[in-house]
Amino acid sequence: MGFVLLSALLAQGASAAEKGELPIPAATFAVMAAKDTTAAAPILMRSYKKESEIEIWKQNSAGRYVFLKSFPICRWSGTLGPKTTQGDRQTPEGFYAVGPTQMNPNSHYYLSFDTGYPNAYDKAHGGSGSSVMVHGTCSSAGCFAMTDKGVGEIFALAREALRGGQSAFQFQAYPFRMTAQNMARYRSDPNIAFWRELKEGSDRFEATGEELAVSVVNGRYAFAPSTDPAKETAAAERRTREQARIAAFVAEGSAAVRTVYSDGGQNPYFAALLRKGAQLGEVSRPEALAYAGIDEVLTPARGICAHKGRCPEAIANGPALGPAKPDADTPAAAAPQEAPPRIWLAAAHATALPATEPMTLAPVPLCYKLGRPAPEQTVIAGAMPVLPPMFFD
C-alpha cells in the first residue's frame, strides 16, 4: 500500500506536506523486522562516491547498528576528495550530523536534507560553502542527487528515526568503500592522509556497531573509545589487521591508481537505464558521465597482482595475518564489472568513444539554497525542473 501511494504521489505531484509524510514501504518494514529493528530506532547513513551508493543502517534491539539497505546515487559531482571551497562542485567527505531542522520537505528538488557541511573539521581547514544536500532529481553541483522515489524513502526513514527520539543522525561520507585493497590502490593519491583518518572511523564503526563519537584534535579527526571494553578491543584488533592487510597488498604488487572524473559520477544502474533510453528526468552534465571513473595508473601492478589482473583477497588472508573476520552486518561490496570503453587521451591522440549516455538531457542543472522560490513541478516520476545557475554552491 505504501509503495502504491508513493508511486501515485510521484506521478501526480504532491504538496510538501504529503511528500514529507510519505510512508515507509512495506517491504522495508519487513527487512527491519528481520534485522530486529523498528522505524523509530536510530538511523545512520554512509555514502560512497566511487560506488555511488548511500547505505542505511539502523540500530537493533541490542544497540548495534545493522545494515538495512542501499540506495543507488543518481548523480554526484566533483571528484574523489573532500569539499573545500564554495562553488567547487565537490560533494563532501567526512563525518556529519543531521538534525530535524535540516530536513526539508519544501525542497526545490522534491525532498532533501542538509548534510551539515561544513563541520568542525572542514572549518578547521578553511572549508567554505553551505546547503550541501541529499535530494531528489538527478542533478548535482555539490550534492548527492537521488531519484525522487529514492529520496522519498530515505527521507521517510530519517523522519521516523528523528521522531522516535534520535536528536540527530550521523552521515558518514566516504570517497569509496574503505577496504584494505582500496587503501593500497589509492596510496599515492594526494588525499591519502585524509582518507586514512576516514578509514580509522570506518573501521571503528564496523568493528563496534556504534555511532562514532567524533571530534577534531589538532586538525585531525579523533574518535572516542567505546565504553564497552570488548568492543574497544574489537576496534583495536580490526585496525591492526587492516593495517597489516594494506601492507600485504602493497608488498604483493598492488597497482597505485588515481581515479579521474570529469565532473562526478553515477551508479551503474542508472547509467544502464540511460543507455536503454529510460527517462530519469533532468540529469546534470550527462556529457561528463562519459568520462567518469577512469583509473590513472601511478604505479603499475607487479607480481601476483599483475599476473591476475587484480590482487586476490587471499593475499591478505594468509597464515601470517590470520583470517580476516568479516562483519556480519557489513554489506558485501558489489561484484566488479568490466569497465565500459572510455576515451584515453595522450600526446594529441584519442581513441574513439562508443555510444554511452545520451547527450540530449539538460546540461548543468545546479544545487540550490534553501528559501528560494520553487519552480513548477513536472509530472515525470523522478524528475523536477532545473533551477537557473544562481542556485548553486
Distance CA 269, CA 244 (A): 34
Active-site residue, from 108, 135, 305, 311: 135
Q: Give, in degrees to the nearest 5, the angle at Cα 382 between 376 and 383.
A: 35
Bridge partners of 97, per DSSP, are 170
Active-site residue, from 74, 108, 138, 143: 143
According to the 3-state scheme, what is the secondary structure of the chain? Answer: CHHHHHHHHHHHCCCHHHHHCCCCCHHHHHHHHHCCCCCCCCEEEEEECCCCEEEEEEECCCCCEEEEEEEECCEECCCCCCCCCCCCCCCCCEEEEECHHHEECCCCCCCEEECCCCCHHHHHCCCCCCCCEEECCCCCCCCEECCHHHHHHHHHHHHHHHHCCCCCEEEEEECCCCCHHHHHHCCCCCCHHHHHHHHHHHHHHHHHCCCCCEEEECCEEEECCCCCHHHHHHHHHHHHHHHHHHHHHHHCCCCEEEEEECCCECCHHHHHHHHCCCCCCCCCCHHHHCCEEEEEEEECCCHHHHHHCCCCHHHHHCCCCCCCCCCCCCCCCCCCCCCCCCCCEECCEECCCCCCCCCCCCCCCCCCCCCCCCCCCCCCCCCCCCCCCCCCC
Question: Does residue 135 have an active-site annotation?
Answer: yes
Count Cβ neighbours within 10 Å for each residue of 197-226 and write b for 16 or more, e otherwise. Answer: bbbbbbbbbbbbbbbbebebeeeebebeeb
Question: Does residue 311 have an active-site annotation?
Answer: no
Give the cell for residue 10: 510521484
Residue of 92, 135, 140 whose CA lies nearest to 116: 92
Q: Which residues are catalytic?
A: 135, 143
